[in-house]
Copies of this chain bind each other. A is one copy, B any other.
């Protein structure tokens, strides 16, 4: 497909207000919107659609959509549509407070999918029909091809699959973005698939533009609005300790000959701990590194600036206001060193495994046997979603999962007897890191892992109770491969729900051990 049905009048003839465009979205449809971690999402049409929905609801009419995106977006998309009670189902990842609240209240259905799986599931037809695409772009070429914005996510797929397309052309996005993207049009449905010809993190295997059939474009909306650019917290002491443990470990692996001295391509999840690790790497001993990741945050921008990172591949740019200024002021420097790809490529198992990515992802909790919960609070409420952590962890060369050892002012232990939800199984978790230390679980049995995780990663306040649980489980009549006390395995979580703390009252553990 080329960018068909485009001539000199097309753009002007299709340009309209956000309200007029929003009026073209029917009720009960699946709408695929752009957006990945607060970058490159449509800014005006979702608000106009939310306004329309509120009016219809006030008039007693039903109106909700199924909302598909790249990943999380921003309050101008997820937030306003959720506040209008306009989303019946959501996939594949979200981080909006209102969306989260509605999911956990049972008012919105949420399908939490590996980010590399979304485009292919849509292509296979397993998610139902995609009716409308609403996609932000940075510009339109004279031949009708589209300059992608600050994220790509699933935009290629949405443009190909949707019956109707609404484009938001955002003139605030830096024109220097042009040429930074690499859209691979070689994907196929089995049995027609071919190897993906990417060998290095910085390889370009596609073209810098999105194609579109303009006969499907029903509206073009002009915008001039910034992305959500949240500031990061300065790395706190715990984050710095986690970073130090990882850097020390990587240095040892280089010394052992397990890693080349420039390491292997880095993947880093989103958030303050991840950013602290990147800051640590920027101050650390490794040179000429590369990254193959989902999201480029401040930390990787600093590493590109310093030259520690020679090339970065991602599907989205998610900067603080300061980092955005740095990026915009020096876009010629950065555009030579950054490749933005569709998320089916940035997260592709084939590519993650081939490149040998070093995966570093945050988690909510781990259990002593190395199972990781990335998504659920106390087993029942979803936080954000699995995102790309599964794509990377399963296929990585080395896979780290990171968390402070406690949460909520020490009332929650992030190392528990049994996680309340499993997103990464014992078969996929190699290294667990807290500010207390690092547990290298490679090649170990569950009981060997348990001893390491308790002694290296758990907070001292919870270590005696974890030892107590493990030893009593080991002495019980159950199997000793993965010793558990089934009636107590989730008691730390239920205690928190009941009392506000996972800590036992002071005399209990003593009495039990007596």
Which residues of A are in contact with B by a Cβ distance under 8 Å?
A: 89, 91, 103-106, 109-114, 121, 124-128, 189-191, 193-197, 199-200, 256-258, 260, 264-265, 349-350, 353-356, 371, 376-382, 386, 390, 394-395, 397, 420-428, 430, 442-445, 447-448, 473-474, 477-484, 486-487, 489-491, 493-494, 497
Interchain CB contact under 8 A, B497 and A493 = no
Query: Which residue of the partner chain B has the closest CB to A350?
Result: B350
Query: Which residue of the partner chain B has the closest CB to A397?
Result: B190
Interchain CB contact under 8 A, A380 and B490 = no
- In the complex the two chains form, what is the Cα distance from A105 to B377 in whole Å? 34
Contacts of A489 in B (CB 8 A): 379, 490
Interchain CB contact under 8 A, B443 and A481 = no
Query: Which residue of the partner chain B has the closest CB to A381?
Result: B479
Contacts of A380 in B (CB 8 A): 473, 478-484, 486
Q: When the two chains form the complex, which single residue of B191, B199, B355, B481 contacts A104, counting CB atoms closer than 8 Å?
A: B481
Interchain CB contact under 8 A, B356 and A350 = no
Interchain CB contact under 8 A, A125 and B481 = no
Q: What is the minimal beta-carbon distance from A251 to any residue of chain B, in angstroms?
A: 16
Task: Give me 24 A-to-B residue pairs in the complex whose CB atoms sit less than 8 angstroms apart, sorted by A's number.
Answer: A91-B443, A104-B481, A106-B480, A106-B483, A111-B443, A113-B427, A114-B428, A121-B443, A124-B397, A125-B256, A127-B443, A190-B264, A191-B200, A349-B349, A349-B350, A350-B353, A379-B478, A379-B482, A381-B478, A382-B482, A421-B482, A423-B427, A424-B425, A477-B497
Interchain CB contact under 8 A, A376 and B482 = yes
Contacts of A193 in B (CB 8 A): 199, 353-356
Q: When the two chains form the complex, which single residue of B381, B480, B487 contacts A494, counting CB atoms closer than 8 Å?
A: B487
Contacts of A111 in B (CB 8 A): 443-445
Most B CB atoms within 10 A — which of A194, A474, A487? A487
Instruction: Knowing A112-B427, A350-B353, A442-B121 are in contact, say whether A478-B490 is a contact too (CB < 8 A).
Output: no
Instruction: Knowing A191-B356, A397-B124 are in contact, say whether A427-B482 is a contact too (CB < 8 A).
Output: no
Q: What is the minimal beta-carbon distance from A397 to any residue of chain B, in angstroms?
A: 6
Task: Given contacts A109-B447, A376-B482, A381-B481, list 5 more A-B pairs with CB under 8 A.
Answer: A190-B264, A195-B350, A349-B349, A350-B354, A378-B479
Query: Which residue of the partner chain B has the closest CB to A91?
Result: B443
Contacts of A356 in B (CB 8 A): 189-191, 193
- In the complex the two chains form, what is the Cα distance from A111 to B477 in whole Å? 22
Contacts of A479 in B (CB 8 A): 104, 376-378, 380-382
Instruction: Knowing A420-B486, A494-B486 are in contact, say whether A442-B478 is a contact too (CB < 8 A).
Output: no
- In the complex the two chains form, what is the Cα distance from A447 to B107 in whole Å? 11
Q: What is the minimal beta-carbon distance from A333 to any residue of chain B, in angstroms?
A: 25
Q: What is the minimal beta-carbon distance from A102 to any residue of chain B, in angstroms?
A: 10
Q: What is the minimal beta-carbon distance from A110 to any residue of chain B, in angstroms?
A: 5
Contacts of A112 in B (CB 8 A): 426-427
Q: When the two chains form the complex, which single residue of B195, B264, B430, B483 contacts A196, counting CB atoms closer than 8 Å?
A: B195
Query: Which residue of the partner chain B has the closest CB to A487?
Result: B494
Q: What is the minimal beta-carbon distance from A393 to any residue of chain B, in angstroms?
A: 11
Query: Which residue of the partner chain B has the closest CB to A90?
Result: B445
Q: When the two chains form the complex, which single residue of B127, B196, B197, B473 contacts A442, counting CB atoms closer than 8 Å?
A: B127
Contacts of A189 in B (CB 8 A): 356
Q: What is the minimal beta-carbon distance from A312 to any residue of chain B, in angstroms?
A: 16
Contacts of A91 in B (CB 8 A): 443
Q: What is the minimal beta-carbon distance from A280 to any residue of chain B, in angstroms?
A: 22
Q: What is the minimal beta-carbon distance from A351 to any residue of chain B, in angstroms?
A: 9
Contacts of A265 in B (CB 8 A): 191
Interchain CB contact under 8 A, B421 and A191 = no
Instruction: Knowing A427-B386, A443-B127 are in contact, say whether A105-B480 is a contact too (CB < 8 A).
Output: yes
Contacts of A256 in B (CB 8 A): 125
Q: What is the minimal beta-carbon distance from A420 to any residue of chain B, in angstroms?
A: 7
Q: What is the minimal beta-carbon distance from A107 to any residue of chain B, in angstroms?
A: 8
- In the complex the two chains form, what is the Cα distance from A353 to B395 in whole Å? 13
- In the complex the two chains form, what is the Cα distance from A443 to B428 in whole Å? 24
Interchain CB contact under 8 A, B427 and A379 = no
Interchain CB contact under 8 A, A486 and B126 = no
- In the complex the two chains form, what is the Cα distance from A349 to B354 in whole Å? 10
Instruction: Knowing A443-B128, A497-B478 are in contact, say whether A448-B381 is a contact too (CB < 8 A).
Output: no
Query: Which residue of the partner chain B has the closest CB to A423?
Result: B425
Interchain CB contact under 8 A, B354 and A190 = yes
Contacts of A390 in B (CB 8 A): 394, 425, 427-428
- In the complex the two chains form, what is the Cα distance from A212 to B191 in whole Å? 35
Q: When the two chains form the complex, which single residue of B264, B350, B379, B477 contacts A191, counting CB atoms closer than 8 Å?
A: B264
